[in-house]
Structure 1
Amino acid sequence: MTAAKKTKPSERPENAARPCLTEMPYRAVVFAELNQHNVPLYFVGGSSAPKCKAEKALKVAFGIHGGSCFYCKKAILEADLSIDHVEPTSNEGGKAIQNLLIAHRKCNQKKAALPIEAFHPDAGKEWLTALLAQVEDRLKRIDTSK
């Protein structure tokens, strides 16, 4: 019988499978576990909804906590909600929680497959800065877990 492999803090899924943005409703989405296909599942703070994938979790969090469009910063009515893949899936962007933003349908359609910084430089800088902070935090965990 082999001993169970100890997982370093830097290798734990919860250190990678979390939103890079810290305001509501993003921070209400909390990593729960990996499913049988190694896809992250999330709980939503303030909800009794079952664990779900990132896009659905963000929609549930929006339904509870509301939110504004990441691009134009205006409030969104639920009927106008869309979840934007910052790096489009057509350009090999993933469905990871870090790649998802709340946006108006029209803003999302205008962005289409453009890089975020080409579509909206301020939003691009905000998202890239948040993503960089998350990467730097993960790098610190690797350095301290040796």
Structure 2
Amino acid sequence: MSRDCFTPYDWSRSFLLPADMASNIPLRGAVGMLGAHNAARGLLVEICRHTGAHPTFLHYGETVLDHGAIIVVDVSATAHLPNGEPLCVKTRTLHRRHDDDARNGDWSISVDGVTYPGEDRRRSPSPPMQGWIVHRLVRRPTSS
């Protein structure tokens, strides 16, 4: 079911989300819309593509810090894996006023509430790469 909810057009990086899911941003992009919203939709589409999950929820948020010197973008993407288990992915990206100020950890990811500092980066990976990272982390065994 999960792979059937997207069409080949979605894989072409248009990142269209199904109408039956919840989101605080538009499910489809259009000319003149924020590219950041397209990247957020892309995260959810690519998570589903790489894990076989079905999308259910997307939340995008921005916070301005230090008088605009830093903009924090938080994206929460929720889907259900083929076995029915929920999958919640959160990314955080710090955009700094001066690109030279970028540092490791400006992009971070958590999956189902578990943070992965080893995945931190200076800049956010592309949505397809983020989907692959989630795929790899979901398959990683956890210690009890």
Q: Which has the larger share of helix?
A: 1
**Which structure has the bigger radius of gyration?**
1
TM-score by length of 2: 0.29
Q: Which has the larger share of strand?
A: 2
